[in-house]
Amino acid sequence: MISIYGRPLTLQALRAALDDYREKILSGELARPPADEKILSKSAEFLDDLVSPTLFPVINATGIIVHTNLGRAPLSQHALSALQDAAKGYSNLEFDIAAGKRGSRLNHAQKLLRQLSGAEDAIIVNNNASAVLLMLSALCKEREVIISRGQLVEIGGGFRIPDVMAQSGAHLVEVGTTNRTHLYDYENRINENTAAIMVAHPSNFRVIGFTAEPSIEQLAQLALKHNIPLLFDQGSGSFLDVTPYSLDYEPTVQEGLQAGVDLIAFSGDKLLGGPQAGIICGKEHLIGKLKRHPFARAMRADKLCLAALIATLTHYLKEEPLQKIPVWQMIAQPLSSITQTAEKWQRTLQANLIHVEIINGRSRVGGGSLPGSSLPTKLVAIMTTDAQRLSKALRHASVPIIGRIQDDKLLLDPRTVLPDQEEDFLNSLIGICKNYD
């Protein structure tokens, strides 16, 4: 143990094991001291626990593509190798090769983002939450920002639009009602202290029924008329139209800008399918103000993020996201191919005497995007009398398998199981299910 873990750690583990046994003896739980081997094996457990990473890969069989709890977007091969290259050695992160002097990290990906979005300029920060905070802090501090009551949402993980606004120093002016807000509601509240109109995507929440919101175009015209910017927190921004996959229409980033949005902010690791990042595209003079704000430095993206993001954006430029970006491969995967995979799993499992059924179900895009819309899928249902217990056993596999439970059935969705994990997944599944009822 000393040769593997070093002396201080081994000593600590031995002491912890001894303490544990002493307590058990004092409390009467143990009648006599354990054998030496037991103390050693308990110490080994402590050591193993101390050095094993708390962050490790899992298999996502939930069918939720951008699963916030499971790390959101898996990266493309190209993004992975770009990230590795950037991590391994030095790069021109802040070095201008042509001039031979200090450059700016803010210049990376700018050309790509301009080309893809049609925006004049762009800035990349750590995540979209910081992007929103930066926009509001740099442009709206101690002034008023008008937003519809229907958009004062909590996105999850404690990100609440009104709280973020308060932290930025901007004064929230809420207009309209939860379900209906009209253009005149905004117009009535514009005064000389208005800094901006803000639109926030309601993320994983939807108001249905008797509802009304002015369009982005209408708000853009209103903002232009009063010479104030229109800011759009799009959350899960996308360069690709989702409607070909029978998902509900959402404007793309380019459409948002075309409609007259001055600044649009979105995440790098939601529908975009890249690394965690916050991207803001829009008017040059506004992006300039963001770049000069002290928060821009505090929230700056690191080189690994930039490398992976540039590689991801390049896929869009080359019109190959459906072939190269895992999130889009999963969205675009036809039902016939999912059915084939489900049938293959069924054959393999049945050959091992594990009884499964294939049932119709729905996959979701997740990540707070496209609430209420879903993709048709085939689910592999494992027949068991205790789905909770089986689910727990699968979670404790060497690479944990995360499925979902519905009507006392354990369901696995082939859509989100990555091809290179499939073999291990099946072997692990067989190993665990064989020991079950």
Ligand X SMILES: *Cc1c(COP(=O)(O)O)cnc(C)c1O
Under the criterion CB under 6 A, does residue 155 sit at the interface with ligand X? yes
Q: In 3D, which of 398, 404, 391, 389 has the Cα closest to residue 359?
A: 404
Decide: 342 and 378 in contact? Cβ < 8 Å: yes
Of the pair 174, 233, the CB lying nearest ligand X is at: 233
* Residues sharing a CB contact under 8 Å with residue 200, sequence separation 6 or more, in sequence order: 132, 147, 151, 152, 153, 161, 232, 233, 235
CB under 6 A: which stretch of 17-25, 128-136, 403-411, 415-423 binds ligand X?
Answer: 128-136
Under the criterion CB under 6 A, does residue 235 sit at the interface with ligand X? yes
Least distance to ligand X, CB of residue 126, Å: 8
| Interacting positions 75-104 with ligand X (CB under 6 A) | none
Q: Can you give the three-state secondary structure of 390-426, one letter per residue?
A: HHHHHHCCCCCEECEEECCEEEECHHHCCHHHHHHHH
* Number of residues near ligand X (by CB under 6 A): 15
Least distance to ligand X, CB of residue 216, Å: 14
| Interacting positions 345-384 with ligand X (CB under 6 A) | 368
CB under 6 A: which stretch of 4-12, 17-25, 196-204, 376-384 binds ligand X?
Answer: 196-204
Under the criterion CB under 6 A, does residue 326 sit at the interface with ligand X? no
Under the criterion CB under 6 A, does residue 200 sit at the interface with ligand X? yes
Report the alpha-carbon distance of residue 25 to residue 335 in Å, rounded: 60
Least distance to ligand X, CB of residue 32, Å: 55
Under the criterion CB under 6 A, does residue 312 sit at the interface with ligand X? no
Residue with tokens 């909590």: 154
Q: Are strands 144-148 and 356-366 parallel, antiparallel or unpaired?
A: unpaired
Beta strands in 204-287, from DSSP E residues, in sequence order: 230-235, 263-267, 278-282
Beta strands in 220-311, from DSSP E residues, in sequence order: 230-235, 263-267, 278-282
Report the alpha-carbon distance of residue 328 to residue 203 in Å, rounded: 19
Cα radius of gyration (the chain): 26
Of the pair 265, 381, the CB lying nearest ligand X is at: 265
Under the criterion CB under 6 A, does residue 159 sit at the interface with ligand X? yes
Interacting residue with ligand X among 78, 108, 201, 315 (CB under 6 A): 201
Residue with tokens 């046994």: 21
Least distance to ligand X, CB of residue 156, Å: 7
Interacting residue with ligand X among 117, 128, 252, 341 (CB under 6 A): 128
Q: Are strands 263-267 and 401-402 parallel, antiparallel or unpaired?
A: unpaired
Residue 169: HSE in the Cβ half-sphere, 13 Å Cα cutoff: 9
CB under 6 A: which stretch of 127-135, 138-146, 280-288, 406-414 binds ligand X?
Answer: 127-135
The helix (H) or strand (E) run that includes residue 414 is none
Least distance to ligand X, CB of residue 323, Å: 25
Under the criterion CB under 6 A, does residue 232 sit at the interface with ligand X? no
Of the pair 299, 338, the CB lying nearest ligand X is at: 299
Decide: 235 and 366 in contact? Cβ < 8 Å: no
Interacting residue with ligand X among 63, 251, 274, 278 (CB under 6 A): 278
Interacting residue with ligand X among 43, 148, 194, 236 (CB under 6 A): 236
Q: In 3D, which of 346, 344, 364, 350 has the Cα closest to residue 416?
A: 364
Report the alpha-carbon distance of residue 430 to residue 194 in Å, rounded: 62
Under the criterion CB under 6 A, does residue 148 sit at the interface with ligand X? no
Under the criterion CB under 6 A, does residue 267 sit at the interface with ligand X? yes
CB under 6 A: which stretch of 200-208, 254-262, 314-322, 397-405 binds ligand X?
Answer: 200-208
Under the criterion CB under 6 A, does residue 216 sit at the interface with ligand X? no
Residue 367, Ramachandran bin (φ over 0: left; ψ between -120 and 50: alpha; else beta): left
Least distance to ligand X, CB of residue 20, Å: 41
Report the alpha-carbon distance of residue 402 to residue 417 in Å, rounded: 10
CB under 6 A: which stretch of 7-15, 113-121, 125-133, 295-303 binds ligand X?
Answer: 125-133
| Contacting positions for ligand X (CB under 6 A) | 127-129, 132, 155, 159, 200-201, 203, 233, 235-236, 267, 278, 368
